[in-house]
A and B are shown apart, each in its own frame.
Chain A
Amino acid sequence: MENKKNHSGPLMIALQHDDLFDLNSVSTNTELPKGRAFTFIKAVQTVNERLVEQNKNECLLFEVILIAMECTEDVKMKIVESVKYYGLEIGKFYFCKKEELKNTLQSNKVKLFLSTDRDDVQEALRSGISAALLYDQADHHVLNPLKVILSGDVLGFSEDSLESYLDFELSENQIETVKAAKICVKEFAVLIGQMRRRFGPDNSPICTCVLTVWGSRNVCASALKTLREWGLDVDEAFCLAGAPSNPILSVVNPHILWDGGFHNMRDLAALS
C-alpha cells in the first residue's frame, strides 16, 4: 500500500518569485520586499525544522523551487540576493520562459505548483500541471502551522451519486476534469499524509483540511474515506452545502487551497 513505501526524497513544490517577493513596491534596499507567499515559506520551513528535530536523517522534507519567468538580469540578481538575505531555504532557481514551465516542473518531479493568482492556477491545471492556490493569509505577522485545504467536492466525487452536488449536474467534460484532478493530486496527498503522521494530533506544524462547498455530507464523507485510503487522516473538515465560502475560508485561513479547478467551472460560477 502507498503509505508503506518509504518515499525517500523531498516533496517538491514550486513557487513564483513575484509571490515570494513584492516587485511592485518601491524600495531603496538591495533586497526585495516580502511578498504574499512569505508566511507560507516560513510555515514550510518550520515543518522541515520539526521533521529534522524528530529524525536527523529525515528524507521526506519540503523542497521549494523558485520559478521566475521572463526576468531581466537585474531582477534575477535581486532574487538570489534577497533569498540569501532572508535566509530562505530555496532548493533551486529556475529562470525560464513561460513555455518551458511544464517541462521544468515535470523534470523536477514537482508535486504542486503554487500561485496567488487564480488564473495562473487555472492555466497550469489546464495544461496538466498539478497546481493550487496560495491563499493570502490575513495577518502576515502571525506564524501559523502550514495549513492545506483539499477540495471535498473533487475528492468525494463518485459516478454513482451525481445528484449530490446540490441541484446541478456536471457535464461530461467537467466529470473528466474532476476525475483527472483527483488522480493528479494523489501523489501530493500521499506525501502530505506521511508527513502529517510524523506528528501527533496536537501541536503539529502541519494541518490538513477537507472543504466541501457544494457536495452533500456524503460527498464529504466519501472524500474523507478516499484520503484515509491514501494514508491522509485530515484534521479539519467543513461542509458548506452551498453557503458562501469566503467567510469560512477567512476563518480557516489556509496557506494552500487545492480544488482542482472545480470552482472555476463555468456553470458553477453563477452559484458563488
Chain B
Amino acid sequence: MMNMNTALPEEMHTFWKETCNQTSPSKKPKPPKPQNAITIAVSSRALFNMDLEQDIYEQQGMEDYLNYQIQHEIEPFAPGPAFPFIKAVEAVNARLRELYPDSEELFDVVLMTSNHAHVGLRLINSINHHQLFLERFCMTGGNSPIGYLKAYHTNLYLSADSLKVREAIEAGIAAATVFSPGKITEVPETQLRVAFDGDAVLFSDESERIFKAHGLDKFFEHEKAHENKPLDHGPLKGFLEALGKLQQKFYAKGQRLDCPIRTYLVTARSAASSGTRALKTLRSWGLETDEALFLAGAPKGPMLEKIRPHIFFDDQMFHVEGATELGTVAAHVPYGIAQKIPPKKDGKKDTSARQLE
C-alpha cells in the first residue's frame, strides 16, 4: 500500500484541489430517479481503456494492480469502447432537457464496477477529465454487480467481462459484452445510433433453433408458414422499446426528421422471405426501427461501416468480430442457441476466471 508518510508531490496537490473543490455550477442538472429513467450501467473497462492495468492484474495480481492504479491516480484513463455511446447518450439527454425541462424520462448512466474503491479516485478523476455527466456509481470491491443492477432498475448493462454479462442475462437484465473496434471510426456526436441483430437479440432464438436443427430450407419454410405469428421477445426488446419511447418525445415536438436517436435492424434474414415475420413481429409489439437491413446471410461488417452506429448488438461472435474488424463497436449478447457455452443449470457461479472491472 502507498506509504502515507511521503509528502504528496506538487501535481497531486493540484489534482486534489481540482477534484475535491470542483464547484458544480448551480445549473448542473439533477439526475432522474432510477424508476423514471432509462438506466444504462457501464463497467469501468467498457467506459475507459484499462488494457494496461488489466494486464498488470492478470500477470502480477491484485496488490500490484491496486498499487499501480493508486500511483497513476492523476492520469485519466483514455476512452474505452462504450465511451462514444455514452457521450451520444448524454447528447440526447441535453436535447431532451431543452424540450422537456421538468421530465425525468431521460437516460441515466451509472458506473457499475467490481473494482475496489482504491481505484475510485482514478475513475472519478477520469470522469471529471472527460466531463461526463456521471454522478452515480457502485464500486463493489469484487462483489457481483447483479443485485445493484436490479436496485437501479437497469435497462441495459454494458461490460467487458462476459461472465458478468451472462450472469445479468440469466437474471433477466438486458446486457452485452462490449468489444473494441479494430480501427477508429468517427461516429456522429449529435445523433445516437443503435443497431440490433434480430434473432436472439430483439427476438427469441426460436427460429435460430430451427435453422440449427433443420437447416436453411426448413428455416425459410417455417418462417413463411408462421409469418403472422409474432416471435417471442429477446433480451434487448425492452431497450429498443425504451429508445422508441424517447423517440416519440422528439416526434411530439416536431423533430422526426432530425431525431437525435436512430435505430437499425441488421439481420441475416432476407427481405424476400424470412424478413417479413421479423417486421410483423416488431409491428405487433408497437415497435419499429428507423431502418431495417436484410442481408440474406451477407457479412454485416461492411453495412455497419456505412451506418456508423455507436453500438451494434448481436448474439453471434462471428458477427461481432466481423463488425469490430471494420471499425464498429460491437457487443455480444450471450443468449440463445448460438452460444458455445450453455447456461448453467445448477446456479453455481463460475469463479475460474475472475475479472476486476
Contact surface of A with B, Cβ cutoff 8 Å:
1, 3-4, 156, 158, 160-161, 163-164, 166-167, 197, 200-202, 207, 209-210, 216-218, 220-222, 224-225, 228-229, 231, 233-244, 247-248, 250-251
Contacts and interface: CB of A to CB of B under 8 A. Distances in A.
A209 B141 CA distance: 9
A221 B124 contact: yes
Given A161-B23, A161-B24, 8 more contacts: A164-B24, A209-B141, A216-B135, A238-B138, A247-B150, A248-B138, A248-B152, A250-B151
Per CB-CB distance, the 5 closest pairs between chain A and chain B, nearest first, are: A251-B147, A241-B135, A247-B151, A237-B117, A235-B141
B1 interface: yes
A90 B275 CA distance: 72
A243 B148 CA distance: 12
Interface in B268-318: none
Interface in B198-224: none
B182 interface: no
B138 A221 contact: no
B120 A237 contact: yes
> Interface majority SS on A: helix, strand, loop or mixed?
mixed
Interface string B1-33: 100110000000000100111111010001101
B128 interface: yes
A78 to B, nearest CB: 38
B338 interface: no
B5 A207 contact: no
A237 B137 contact: yes
Given A218-B24, A231-B4, A239-B136, A225 B63 contact: no
B127 A225 contact: no
Contact of B136 (A221, A240, A251): A240
B92 interface: no
A163 B30 contact: no
Given A1-B5, A200-B63, A251-B147, A238 B137 contact: yes
B28 to A, nearest CB: 8
Nearest to B127: A217
A5 B168 CA distance: 46
6 contacts: A167-B30, A207-B141, A216-B135, A235-B142, A244-B33, A247-B152
B66 interface: yes
A163 B24 contact: yes
Contacts of B4: 1, 3, 228-229, 231
Contacts of B127: 217
A221 B20 contact: yes
B187 interface: no
